Amino acid sequence: MNNNIIVPPNNMLGVTLKEKEFTQFCDLIFRIAGITMSASKKSLVTSRLAKRLAHHGLASYGDYFNMITAANGKTELQTAVDLLTTNETHFFREPKHFDFLRQQILHAAKSGKALRIWSAACSTGEEPYTIAMLLDEILGNNAPWEVIASDLNTQVLMQARSGLYAMDRMSEIPQYYLSNYCLRGTGSQEGKLLIGRKLRERVQFIQHNLTDPPPKLGQFDIIFLRNVLIYFNQDTKSKVVARLLPLLRSGGYFLVGHSETLNGVAPEVRLIQPAVYLKP
């Protein structure tokens, strides 16, 4: 038996994130993504970046900060941003929104008229795939439709494009949609759930930072921006929404999370039901 104890590089188990270093990372994420991190996020920053310090053999979080902010540190900077901006999501989250989509929009959609939806903070893809399931179920080939999904985080976009999820996500998806749009993994993919090719080919994933001017994507009938505004301060919320609203058609709908509001953010839209706004 080998009794040698393997010690992580630079004794990583003992490296502490100092207050000054934490403030540096908070300021950096705010500048890049507009996200405000409270003091309660210090343990999250510590745990998510610890492996990167070990990977590079660095002795402190300050050394890692200097690395990612150096002129040649752009690749590692994106890695750090990815680690610090991963958000929770799941299929059919906040189901009243999907009831609204089904009952008020899709059943009223005119035959032959294209319907375009943007999932503007898609994370690992559960939201846009849920939207696509409804669109295919109700519109099918009777009307053209398109789903664009975007996120700042390159790692979550990679998973979203693959359409591959842990099998325990099955419980989030109603049986009809499981049967028609999902496949059970076999062999090396056993224990995985795969979104069928039919839907994967209908959802386009792109990288986009909400604090930057939006790409030229055309006009949308519906924009989902759910459970992301809670990470922004009031000024950033206003700027982000102001950049997205011009891409929403008149008569289109803007959806936010049920714990969010556009009150004081976008006076030009009208609340029609909880977390659903109409652009006149």
Q: Are 183 and 191 in contact (CB under 8 A)?
A: no
Give me the helices (H) in 85-230, please: 95-100, 126-138, 154-162, 175-181, 197-200
Residue 151 a catalytic site member: yes
**H/E stretch holding 115:** strand 115-119
Annotated active-site residue in 116, 151, 200, 226: 151
Q: How far is CA 69 from CA 24, 49, 145, 216, in A?
A: 11, 15, 41, 29
63 is catalytic: no
Sheet architecture: strand order including 248-256: 203-207, 145-151, 115-119, 220-225, 248-256, 276-278, 270-273
Calpha distance 60→8 (Å, rounded): 13
CB atoms within 10 A of CB 227: 21
Q: How many CB atoms lie within 10 A of CB 197?
A: 10
| Four-point Cα dihedral 154, 212, 266, 273, nearest 10 | -20
Catalytic residue set: 48, 151
